Amino acid sequence: MDRHRIAPDTAVRLADHDTAGTPAATDAESAKKQSKGLRKRLDRLQELLYAEGKHRLLVVLQGMDTSGKDGVVRDVLEGVNPSGVTVTPFKAPSPTELARDYLWRVHRHVPGNGHITIFNRSHYEDVLVVRVHSLVPPDRWERRYDQINAFERLLTDEGTTILKFFLHISKAEQAARLHSRLDDPTKSWKFSTADLAERALWDDYTTAYEAVLSRTSTRWAPWWVVPADHNWYRNLVVGSVIVDTLESLHMAYPVPSTDLSKIVID
């Protein structure tokens, strides 16, 4: 899946990345079969991560509205033991959070040893929403790219592996998904007129995301631009990267501290 990975110091232009491309899969059915196998491997790897208790994994999900962040959480992590996985959504900051530095609320939720944490939106909102809506002066959000890189370097230096996924959908696909929410009673509760206000700022968000991807894809915390018009391909890419990353940690179950051969259970 390295074809979707953004190398450090790359100037990203999202128009150059196909939202509907499926270069790592031949068809939907075979991709879904691969994803099913990945879920089984991820289940085993998550148990191993938890048992060994030495590593931490942070997965960051970002994307335009309807890009499938919830879908990734639901589909990629299906069947994984929830005791070792935490999903943290980041909404508008509370008054308590606004009274502190913008990373305070984020640092509190990073994973501990043996755990996987999924950020559904993240600290990147402070160079996305904040920038697009002019919530702070430009000189403040401009400093944040370097601050975020330093923050993520701290986490990785202390043992956290970070994977960041931008779920890349087209404006036309977003329109189709918004219409499906309106037409489906089981999804209409998700619809908000605020979604339309944000959609009107599509070009501004595109510019903001290009800056994020260009300036914060680092050796220690890379970004993947994931074609997300097709849910089955989106899930295949994210699942493959997570599984490959966990397997690269070469984890092992801990050795019992006592000689179990001498244990007698009446």
pLDDT band at 251 (very low <50, low <70, confident <90, very high): very high
What is the per-residue pLDDT across 134-176, written as a single tens digit (0 to 9) for each? Answer: 999 999 999 999 999 999 999 999 999 999 999 999 999 999 9
What is the per-residue pLDDT across 78-97, written as a single tens digit (0 to 9) for each? Answer: 889 999 999 999 999 999 99
What is the total count of domains within the chain?
1
Residue 262's pLDDT is 77
Residue 85's pLDDT is 96
Residue 264's pLDDT is 83
On the question of pLDDT at 22 being above 80, the answer is yes
6 phi and psi angles, rounded to 5 deg: -95, 115
Mean pLDDT of 118-122: 97
Place of tokens 């909404």: 91
Q: Does some domain include residue 48?
A: yes
On the question of pLDDT at 186 being above 80, the answer is yes
CATH number of the domain residue 181 falls in: 3.40.50.300
Nearest to 204 by CA among 55, 5, 14, 16: 14
Spatial contact of 247 and 49, defined as CB atoms under 8 Å apart: no
On the question of pLDDT at 187 being above 90, the answer is no
Sheet with 160-168: list strands edge to edge: 5-6, 223-227, 160-168, 56-63, 116-120, 85-89
Mean pLDDT of 14-34: 95
Residue 153's pLDDT is 98
On the question of pLDDT at 185 being above 90, the answer is no
Q: Does some domain include residue 164?
A: yes
Residue 190's pLDDT is 81
Q: Does some domain include residue 54?
A: yes
Residue 247's pLDDT is 97
Residue 151's pLDDT is 98
Residue 225's pLDDT is 98
Q: Give 255's contacts (C-beta < 8 A, 6+ positions apart).
A: none
Q: How many CB atoms lie within 10 A of CB 82?
A: 10
On the question of pLDDT at 184 being above 90, the answer is no
Domain containing 243 equals 2-249
Place of tokens 């999900």: 61
Q: Does some domain include residue 165?
A: yes
Choice between 255 and 121, residue whose per-residue pLDDT is larger: 121
